[in-house]
Structure 1
Amino acid sequence: MTRSARRTRRVLGGRRAPGGHRGRRMLTAAGASAAALLALTACSSSDDSASGSDTSSSASASASGSAKLSGTVTVFAAASLKESFTTLGADFEKAHPGTKVTFSFGGSDSLAASITGGAPADVFASASPKTMKIVTDAGDAEGTPATFVRNELEIATLPGNPDKIASLKDLTDPGLKVVLCDKEVPCGAAAQKALDASGIKLTPVSYEQDVKAALTKVELKEADAAVVYKTDVHAAGDKVEGVNFPESADAINDYPITLLKDAQNADAAQAFIALVQSPEGQKVLSEAGFLKP
């Protein structure tokens, strides 16, 4: 190669060299800018997506939290729950405007028979596992019943206890008119269990269909004494006087509660059951004389 040619190549190469570095620098800068832009866009998209997700979650949580209960809740409950459940029903309606709690109180066996016979109800609260079993065996309970309180027996006498009744054995005095709950009713079954545990034979003047009916006999002075629950003596106030007896410890009843399978207002029914089991509900029940589950 001649010197002239080499010079020409160096000149041309010298011109290309600066231009090539500059081009590469420009491409590199452009690439970096594009990468930064893409990264920024991706971050922005990710943030927007996350924000949208958070907003959606918040909206979902808000909607869930603001779900409003409404309609009627029909509760079948043992007669001994009348006072405390009436209070809880009023509390429930106040906490959930637009709802109404209606009750059917009575002997647990009769209520269970009504439920298995197709009577419309959302909740069943029984005074014994035995009567609850009538409903569960028929497949009418939704889930497993839960014990929410317990109850103990007491002798209800006339105010002032004029016959000086001090024990279960005193009820065998032939001069006394004593009433018991029917043996098929939880309070009657419990009373019979206490009598059997003490070896006492007692023939009442009548067997009543639920605990309130037995207590009413004493309140109206149609009977001198009745074996009922402590909660019923408590609810009667000064209309009767209560007498404790040690055999009652052998006949404490568990009270189970359950949502019913064909409940027409399941959401509100579950909310009512939750209230019964809550600290607030338990306080009302304890003040009525019920024992903790």
Structure 2
Amino acid sequence: MTRSARRTRRTLHVTGVAAAALLALSGCSSDDSGDSGDSGDSDAAAASGSATASADVSGDVTVFAAASLKESFTQLGKDFEKAHPGTKVTFSFGGSDALAASITGGAPADVFASASPKTMKIVTDAGDAEGTPATFVRNQLEIATLPGNPDRIASLKDLTKSGLKVVLCDKTVPCGAAAQTALEASKLSLTPVSYEEDVKSALNKVVLKEADAAVVYKTDVQAAGDKVEGVDFPESAEAVNDYPITLLKDAPNADAAKAFIELVQSAEGQKVLTGAGFLQP
């Protein structure tokens, strides 16, 4: 089955789901209005800014996004559903290269948010992007160590110490490619105990104490809280990643997808993203 055929089949499915959802909402609208008194002014404020768009946007939105976006995009998905009643945002998080391969292989999706222009190019070269992808945030590397930094890691060079168990993202993944760029800029050679499929997997090795350190993104160190400790290193400035986002061609729900992308790029969306540690483009 071709990619377009798969998307067509999913479009019919989404249309049916959306219709059922609208019928369900109309059937219980009186009950919902009876509970609205407990929602407070914040709920009204969240919906008021998108009142016009909410009337036109409904149904499922499928977003393929880099693993490092998990926390911030999950929050934005909740904000989107709240501002647009009748919508549901479903995410698939993972390594950008794997997500790009899924899209070009025919996986039905509406939006792709990649952790690097290189992995986005896989999708644009295949003709699966609608329009030109736009950079919406940037991200910088950081070393994640065990809590308290017991190995006294203070630099990228320290990761080359004998006996230290270090984990990197796979070189095909944006965080792995960025780490290699930083190592080359420092003229350092490092053989990790493992290469992980995405940044969350690399970080988790440290969280589970299966590794002493990992080179990940600042956003992931921040999201992990006190489970790890972050160490900045100047070479990370040589490997800052741009994150592009695009509407996908033949998106099953293009209108809602465009609205989600607008949220990501809006002042509200940027506040969530920079709060998570991302850099503005």
Superposition TM-score tier, normalisation by shorter sequence: 0.7 to 0.9
Q: CA-to-partner distance for each residue in 1:47-87, whole Å, 9 max, x for gaps?
A: xxxxxxxxxxxxxxxx9767431100000000000000000
Give the secondary-structure state (helix, strand or coil) at the position aligned to 1:292.
coil
Q: 2 CA distance for matches of 1:67 and 1:202?
A: 54
Taking structure 1 as the reference length, the TM-score comes to 0.78
1:6 equivalent in structure 2: none
The aligned counterpart of 1:152 is 140
Which secondary structure does the structure 1 equivalent of 2:112 belong to?
strand
Partner in structure 2 of residue 100 of structure 1? 88
Matched residue of 1:222: which SS? coil
1:239 equivalent in structure 2: 227
Q: Choose from 157, 162, 169 the match for 1:181.
A: 169
Deviation at 1:230, TM superposition (A): 0.1
* 1:194 and 2:182 are equivalent in the alignment: yes
Q: What does 1:130-279 align with in structure 2 at a 5 Å threshold?
A: 130-279=118-267
Paired AA for residue 143 in structure 2: I
- Distance across 2 between alignment mates of 1:115 and 1:65: 27
Once residues 66 and 162 of structure 1 are traced to their aligned partners in structure 2, the CA distance between those partners, rounded to angstroms, is 51
How has the CA–CA distance of structure 1 residues 168 and 64 changed in structure 2, closer, same or farther, with 3 Å as cutoff?
A: closer
Name the CA distance, whole Å, in 2 between partners of 1:66 and 1:290. 28
Q: 1:66 to 1:277 in 2, by over 3 A?
A: closer
In the other structure, the counterpart of 1:78 is 66
What are the residue-to-residue correspondences of 1:46-125 with 2, within 5 Å? 67-125=55-113
Mapped partners of 1:214, 1:127: distance in 2: 15
Query: Structure 2 CA distance, aligned partners of 1:131 and 1:115?
Result: 11
- List 4+ stretches of structure 1 deviating above 2 A: 63-68
- Deviation of 1:170 (Å): 0.2
Match of 2:277 in 1: 289
User: Match of 2:56, SS?
Assistant: coil
> Structure 2: which 5+ residue stretches go unaligned?
1-50
Q: Give the match's secondary structure for 1:228.
A: strand
Question: Which structure has the bigger radius of gyration?
Answer: 1
Change (3 A) 1:177 1:263: same
Which secondary structure does the structure 2 equivalent of 1:264 belong to? coil
Whole-angstrom CA distance in 2 between matches of 1:122 and 1:158: 38
Q: TM-score, normalised by structure 2?
A: 0.81
Shift of 1:122: 0.1
Post-superposition shift, 1:175? 1.4
For the aligned residues, what is the CA RMSD? 1.1
Please give the per-residue CA displacement for 1:169-209, whole angstroms capped at 9, x wherever unaligned: 00001110000000000000000000000000000000000
Percent of paired sites with the same residue: 86
Distance 1:65 1:111, change over 3 A: closer
- 1:184 counterpart SS class: coil
> Hey, what's the Cα distance between the residues in 2 that align with 1:248 and 1:205?
21
Distance 1:172 1:94, change over 3 A: same
